[in-house]
Amino acid sequence: MQMADGRWRMALACCALLFSACREKEKNVLPPPDSIIGDIELDEIHGPNLLSLARGASVVSRTAELTLENSATHSIDGDWLTFWRSPPGGAEQTIIFSLAARARIDRLGVITPQSGNEAPSKVRFEASDDGVTWREIATLDLKAQRDPQLTNVTPFDTTYLRVQTIAGTYYSAIHSLIAMGREIAPPRQPPIEGCWEINGLPARFAQRGTSVFGVIGSDPPMYVSGGADGRTIRLQWLRGAMWGPAIITLDPQRRALSGEKWHESVREQNAGQGWFGTPSQCNDVAFDETEIAAAILKRAGKWVAYGDSALDTIAALIARAPAQQIQVTAPNAGRLAAVRAKVGRSSRVELTVATPKTLNETQRVIADGVALRVR
């Protein structure tokens, strides 16, 4: 009798284990493509979201926005507090984005405002290999809520995404767009060097290795200085007494560029205009890199170097100030060693490692530079 009871208990334990395994398997099965997943922590979208300025996504074209401070770039800047907003009475709009590299996407999503007066009722996603011929992927039925609304889709390969807001009210607004997946080809970043028209203003850029310098407009001109990393161009800008960081991305076919600037620091309260540009013709472009960097350093109190080519400019700035104490801060020991190899050792140059505190991917990308300060 005791042996029978033991066998019975063993059988019950095996059934419990089998049931638990089935439940675990059930949890790992993806929901069907037309299901919306709510209550997802915002941090979950930062890693794999390919539709991000920080990962090289770019706005190829858009139909309209309320202002350039609420432009399409604000829907891919990695900050869920900034937003794209349509013009009044024009809730249905279309935006075309390029990805930095051909990718396989398996989830799409949107973060909308909590107000039902601004959240679009639907958003349609379409895909293209060339930005010309499109195929529909999914249409999301949306609620006005804070949490990301994601849908699993049959995995598809693409380089371009077209997003359409449908059935809005008086306005449509989107805080963030999400395309989750993985890249299946290397990023393709064309050179920015040459002339462009950005927000209706003439712009010129020169590129030396990874370093990028340029000027936008003329009354007064905005000078920019930064570097290309194969996905993005991270910059500091200076216009009169104003300054701040910026980021630019390019369509892989070099048909357009887009970007966003901030005043003094990358945070929602400081977000400025979106930048939209198309190539234009001009003569050879040349700038004095050190002069632009020195002007930014004088006004902003720091100049940020991006990429190996910028180490030459760091050395030039240090040489220009032979009587001043200088602090150079790198985000990691490897970068600091590269600076030390370029500038050597000096009692007036303090070299330190400081890991910046960041909240989103755009902040991390822009903070990943070598900062030079004159004390």
Question: Which pLDDT tens digit goes with each residue over 11-36?
Answer: 444 444 443 444 333 333 333 333 34
Is the per-residue pLDDT at 303 higher than 90? yes
Report the C-alpha gap between 213 and 292 in whole angstroms: 8
Average pLDDT, integer, range 286-294? 92
49 secondary structure, DSSP code: B
Report the C-alpha gap between 267 and 82 in whole angstroms: 9
Report the C-alpha gap between 340 and 351 in whole angstroms: 8
Report the C-alpha gap between 112 and 106 in whole angstroms: 20
Is the per-residue pLDDT at 367 higher than 50? yes
More confident: 202 or 170? 202
Amino acid 168: pLDDT: 66
> Nearest CA to 168 among 116, 113, 223, 241?
116
Average pLDDT, integer, range 128-139? 97
Query: Across the strands, what pairs with 350?
Result: 327
Q: pLDDT tens digit string along 203-247?
A: 999 999 999 999 999 889 999 999 999 999 999 999 999 999 999
Amino acid 118: pLDDT: 87
Q: Where do runs of H (alpha helix) occur along the chain?
A: 2-28, 289-300, 310-320, 333-343, 361-367
Number of helices (H) and strands (E), helices first, in the chain? 5, 21
Report the C-alpha gap between 306 and 225 in whole angstroms: 9
The pTM score is 0.86
- Asked if 274 and 73 touch (Cβ cutoff 8 Å), the reply is yes
Positive or negative CA dihedral for 31, 34, 38, 44? positive
More confident: 284 or 296? 296
Amino acid 32: pLDDT: 39
> Nearest CA to 189 among 253, 95, 234, 261?
253
The dotted CATH code for 36-183 is 2.60.120.260
Amino acid 47: pLDDT: 52
- Region for 260 from its dihedrals, namely left if φ exceeds 0, alpha if ψ lies in -120 to 50, beta otherwise: beta
Nearby residues of 172 by Cβ (< 8 Å), 6 or more positions away: 85, 86, 91, 92, 93, 118, 119, 120, 165
* End-to-end CA separation in angstroms for the chain: 88
Residue 133 Cα distances to 99, 161, 162, 252, angstroms: 16, 11, 11, 16
Q: Burial level of 104, CB count in 10 A (0-12/13-18/19+)?
A: middle
More confident: 239 or 346? 239
Pairing of strands 326-330, 349-353: parallel
Q: Which three-class secondary structure state does DSSP give residue 169?
A: coil
